[in-house]
Every structure is written in structure tokens, then in C-alpha cells.
């Protein structure tokens, strides 16, 4: 139960609009976004909700939310980690993401740690398809209480953003990209060439000790890459705007493997997804030996044509024994449509076949990023990565809802931007240690209104405005249901000496009170 607090702070008188909608047009037109009177620093994208034929309101839970990290190339809307409810209404948006000097956020997700729900996310520089930073742990008051980073053979702050799985042993599986010299002659490069090696570390979250380390280059040959070195090198030479160093050098290593997920399998081994080999690997968690390969050039499985995946993300074992993943199916955003996949993988017969395909309502080629997340109720959550959408499907692949955010919602000639690396769904109870934000201003009709919001507070059910000559002599006591991030109430007696706004939970208990200073 959220604890009750009473907070005294001044009400400010400013002029702003409750919602700004800028129609999309040419590429230099600002993307439509939301603005709030009470929090003008937050500018989230707009969300457009489409219900599928299988939609059932009972399939969603009031205490479950969607976790995103949209990235925009423009100032509006802002790039930031955020939580939204099942209707696309903002619940929490990281205000630090609004700063020009703030490093990028990736992969916000709820995870369990020491019996508590926490939030984890990557923060740090990210470019070229990978990052170098740390994993941040945040409690239910949105305060960072720890960070997890690389160690052992790697320096700190080398953690990549692609995955950050917490295990039941109090450890985290981290990923890292390490420029490493190797012979590239078999793929058309130099004998003294360089690659981006993919490294997995299992790190004790309390001590920072590295308990396990695995290098792709020690186990997977460069020739297994589906990324054609000579084609990539030629494309670079043909690009007149590309001033980067030659491919396969220390300055621009060949990204032959491109790891993007590492999760625990049901037998305690590690499942790894490598985008540039089109393969999923099962690793022995003690020795690091590759126990089998699913997909790609060296697959140990006979795969049906429908089961073949390419450029994939987020491989994981579900509780029913199937393996789920996001089959990007394309390297570009104008290629073939992406899809979610559930595969039956028979490790006795060494065969793989499709159980369920999770297809978007229309062709949607996600050339990068994206994920699948099997839910506890059997449904499948799909984040479409570079395409700014997320969807939920039944176990059988029927669409429940499809939600877009940002430019794609309004512009039929959407040209990219605003995608979220992943999208997750899960429970959360946020109890911020900040006060609600309240602004009183005159509306267009000249009437004063109080605008209130509480960034990250999930337990607010109603808002109540109190006004009068003093706290004991009230002439107005108006309560309204909270239906969105920001709520407004008219101040009927504009000459009131005393004004207060209360946030109430579903039982009518006061969670916080904001009053003007005397």
C-alpha cells in the first residue's frame, strides 16, 4: 500500500496548452506530441490504439503496463524511457531523458530482484548498432539504487544495451562488443583484420564479480556470418558520404556475429541470439561449449521452410518448451514483413517447426531492433523495434491490439524514427518520492482551472480540489476521476484564500496533498 504523505508547495500561474497536436506533413514538420500544463518539460509522443478482432477487455490487467524507450531525431517529442497504460496513456516518463547532454536509454523493463519488482534499463553512449554503458536498477520510487557493469577481462562501462537478464541466482547476463583482431581472409578481408567480438558475462549484481564469460570468436567462426563482408565493404566505398575507416580495421571492425539477446534456458544453459549469423545458440553455462545451433549456416536442426528466420532478435524458451523470437526477416525497413515466431524444437529428432506465427495487421518490415515477450497468460507481446508499434496477440496468433506512437500514427509517408528498441508488458506499482505537480491558470473562457499530474504514481484513482477562506471553511470540494496523465478541475471561487489538491487512491485514502505556500 502506497504510504500517505503531505507535501506543501506553491501553485504557479503559467500559461500553456493541455495538449498540442501538430499535423504531420513534410519531413521538417514537428512530429505530433503531447504537452501538459503541469509538466511542460515532458513531451511524449501521441499514441494511437487499434483493437483487433480478438480484443477482450478482460485480457488486460489494471496493474500491468507497457515499457518503452522511444527515440526521436527531433526535439519534439522527446526521447525518454516511459511507462504507459493499456490505453496508451502516459504513466511515467523519465525527466532526465529531456536533457540534451543526457545519454541514451534502452530496454526499460520490469524484472524481479530479491523478491521485489524493479526497473532495469541501459544508459550510455550508443552508436553503430551497439552501446558502451551500464545497466541501471531503479526501485518503485524511480530512484536508481545500483548499477551493473562489465568486469573481469573487460573494463567497466563497456556493457551493451541489447539485453540485461536477471537470473534467479541474483546475477545478470550482460553483453559487450569488443574489437578483436582476427584473420578475415576467408570472408574477403585482411589477414590482420578486426571484428566486433560478442562477449557474454554473468555478473553477481551485489559484488560485481564476473562468474562466467563467453566469447563468440572462441566458438563461432567468422565464416558463419550471413553478413557479406565484400558487399558491406563495397557499399561503404560507394557511399560518398561515408568517411569512416575501411571495413575490417580496428577503427571499423567487421560485426560478424551481432549478439542481441542472452537468456537462461529451462535446463540452466544459456540461449543466445546472433542477428548476423541468423542463428540461436544453446551454451553450457559452466564450460561455454556450444551444445547446439538453431538456424544459420551451421544449424544442427532440420528446419521447415516456414521456420527459417533471418536477422532475428530476443530468443527465449517459454514455459511450454517452445522457443520464441522476433523474426525481423529483413535487414532494412523496406524489406519483407517481420513476424513473431513460436517454434517447436525437438532436441531428440533435431527438427524445428512453426507452432504459431504472430503477424502484424499489415506488412511491417522492422529492419532493426524489436522483440517478442511471452506473457504469463499465454499471450504474446511484440515490440516492432524500428517500426514504432507494439502489439499483443493471443497464444494462437490472433491480434488483440496494435498501438503506434509518434510520426507513424499520422503520416502515411512515415520515413522512420521514434521506434523503441523493445516493448515489454508487466505489472508495476509506482510510488514516487516527488510531489504531485499542480498549476493553476486561466483557461480560454477566462475561468481558472487547476491542472494536476503525478509522474509515475500508479495508485492515484481520483483528484480532489479544496478551496475556501481557510482549511476549516471550504466553499468548494470537487472530486474527479483520474483518466489520463493530467487532470483538470475548475476553481469555482477564484477569490479563495485557501486552495489544496489531494491525490486519492481507490479506497479514498489521501496519498498526497499539495497546497500553496503562505
pLDDT in tens, 260-295: 999 999 999 999 999 999 999 999 999 999 999 999
Q: What is the pLDDT of residue 298?
A: 98
Q: What is the mean pLDDT of residues 21-42?
A: 68
Q: What is the pLDDT of residue 366?
A: 94
Has residue 20 got a pLDDT over 90?
no
C-alpha dihedral, 471 to 453 to 83 to 135, nearest 10°: -80
* 193 SS3 class: strand
Has residue 399 got a pLDDT over 60?
yes
**Mean pLDDT score of the chain, rounded to an integer?**
89
- For 482, the grid coordinates are 483520474
Ramachandran angles phi, psi of 121, nearest 5°: -160, 155
Has residue 195 got a pLDDT over 70?
yes
Q: What is the pLDDT of residue 50?
A: 92
Has residue 5 got a pLDDT over 60?
no
Q: What is the pLDDT of residue 517?
A: 56
- For 141, the grid coordinates are 520510487
Q: What is the mean pLDDT of residues 86-111?
A: 80
Q: What is the mean pLDDT of residues 187-201?
A: 97
Q: What is the pLDDT of residue 99?
A: 43
348, HSE (Cβ side, Cα atoms, 13 Å): 0
Residue pLDDT, tens place only, 299-344: 999 999 999 999 999 999 999 999 999 999 999 888 899 999 999 9
Q: What is the pLDDT of residue 24?
A: 32
Residue pLDDT, tens place only, 106-144: 999 999 999 999 999 999 988 778 899 999 999 999 999
Report residue 1's pLDDT band, with 50, 70 and 90 as the boundaries: very low
Where b means 16+ CB within 10 Å and e means fewer, 430-453 reads bbbeebbbbbbbeeeeeebbbbbb
Residues 6 or more apart in contact with residue 475 via CB below 8 angstroms: 467, 468, 469, 492, 493, 496
Report residue 8's pLDDT band, with 50, 70 and 90 as the boundaries: very low
Residue pLDDT, tens place only, 471-482: 899 999 999 999
Give alpha helix (H) positions in 30-72: none
β-strand partners of 195? 180, 254
Distance CA 331, CA 370 (A): 12
* Range from 97-106, 220-229, 249-258, 265-274 carrying the lowest mean pLDDT: 97-106
Q: What is the pLDDT of residue 61?
A: 60
Has residue 382 got a pLDDT over 90?
yes
Q: What is the pLDDT of residue 306?
A: 97
Has residue 406 got a pLDDT over 50?
yes
Distance CA 491, CA 484 (A): 20
Has residue 105 got a pLDDT over 60?
yes
Amino acid at each position: 500500500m502506497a504510504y500517505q504523505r503531505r507535501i506543501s508547495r506553491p501553485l504557479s500561474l503559467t500559461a500553456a496548452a493541455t495538449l498540442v497536436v501538430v499535423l504531420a506533413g513534410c519531413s521538417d514538420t514537428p512530429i505530433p506530441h503531447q504537452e501538459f500544463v503541469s509538466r511542460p518539460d515532458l513531451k511524449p509522443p501521441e499514441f494511437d490504439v487499434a483493437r483487433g478482432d480478438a480484443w477482450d477487455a478482460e485480457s488486460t490487467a489494471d496493474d500491468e503496463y507497457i515499457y518503452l524507450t522511444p527515440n526521436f531525431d527531433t526535439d519534439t517529442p522527446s526521447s525518454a524511457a516511459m511507462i504507459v497504460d493499456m490505453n496508451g496513456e502516459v504513466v511515467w516518463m523519465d525527466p532526465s531523458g529531456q536533457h540534451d547532454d543526457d545519454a541514451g536509454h534502452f530496454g526499460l523493463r520490469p524484472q524481479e530482484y530479491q523478491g521485489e519488482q524493479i526497473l532495469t534499463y541501459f544508459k550510455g553512449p550508443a552508436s553503430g548498432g551497439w552501446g558502451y554503458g551500464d545497466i541501471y536498477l531503479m526501485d518503485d520510487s524511480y530512484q536508481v539504487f545500483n548499477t551493473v557493469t562489465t568486469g573481469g577481462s573487460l573494463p567497466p562501462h563497456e556493457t551493451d544495451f541489447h539485453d540485461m537478464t536477471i537470473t534467479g541466482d541474483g546475477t545478470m547476463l550482460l553483453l559487450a562488443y569488443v574489437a578483436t583482431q582476427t584473420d578475415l581472409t576467408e570472408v574477403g578481408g585482411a589477414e590482420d583484420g578486426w571484428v566486433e567480438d560478442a562477449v557474454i558475462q554473468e555478473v553477481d549484481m551485489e559484488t560485481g564479480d564476473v562468474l562466467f564469460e563467453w566469447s563468440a570468436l572462441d566458438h563461432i567462426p567468422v565464416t558463419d556470418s550471413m553478413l557479406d563482408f565484400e558487399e558491406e565493404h563495397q557499399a561503404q566505398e560507394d557511399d560518398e558520404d561515408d568517411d569512416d575507416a575501411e571495413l575490417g580495421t580496428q577503427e571499423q571492425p567487421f560485426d560478424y556475429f551481432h549478439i542481441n539477446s542472452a537468456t537462461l534456458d529451462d535446463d540452466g544453459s544459456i540461449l543466445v541470439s546472433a542477428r548476423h549469423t541468423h542463428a540461436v545458440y544453446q551454451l553450457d553455462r559452466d564450460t561455454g561449449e556450444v551444445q547446439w545451433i538453431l538456424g544459420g549456416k551451421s544449424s544442427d536442426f532440420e528446419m521447415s521452410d516456414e521456420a527459417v528466420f533471418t536477422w532475428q532478435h530476443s530468443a527465449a524458451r517459454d514455459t511450454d518448451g517452445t522457443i520464441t523470437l522476433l523474426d525481423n526477416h529483413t535487414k532494412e525497413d523496406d524489406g519483407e514483413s517481420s513476424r513473431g515466431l513460436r517454434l517447436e524444437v525437438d532436441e531428440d529428432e533435431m527438427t524445428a517447426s512453426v507452432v504459431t506465427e504472430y503477424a502484424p495487421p499489415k506488412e511491417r518490415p522492422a529492419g532493426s531492433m524489436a522483440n517478442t515477450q511471452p506473457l504469463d497468460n499465454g499471450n504474446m507481446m511484440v515490440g516492432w523495434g524500428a517500426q514504432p508499434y507494439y502489439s499483443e496477440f493471443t497464444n494462437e496468433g490472433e491480434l488483440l491490439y496494435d498501438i503506434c506512437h509518434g510520426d507513424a500514427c499520422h503520416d502515411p509517408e512515415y520515413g522512420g524514427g521514434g521506434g523503441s528498441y523493445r516493448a515489454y508488458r508487466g505489472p508495476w506499482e509506482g510510488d514516487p518520492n516527488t510531489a504531485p505537480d499542480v498549476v493553476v491558470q486561466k483557461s480560454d473562457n477566462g475561468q481558472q482551472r487547476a491542472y494536476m499530474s503525478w509522474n509515475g504514481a500508479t495508485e492515484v484513482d481520483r483528484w480532489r480540489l479544496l478551496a475556501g477562506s481557510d482549511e476549516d471553511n471550504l466553499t468548494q470540494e470537487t472530486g474527479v476521476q483520474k483518466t489520463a496523465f493530467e487532470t483538470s478541475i475548475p476553481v469555482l471561487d477564484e477569490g479563495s484564500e485557501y486552495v489544496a489538491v489531494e491525490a486519492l487512491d481507490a479506497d479514498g485514502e489521501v496519498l498526497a496533498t499539495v497546497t500553496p505556500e503562505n
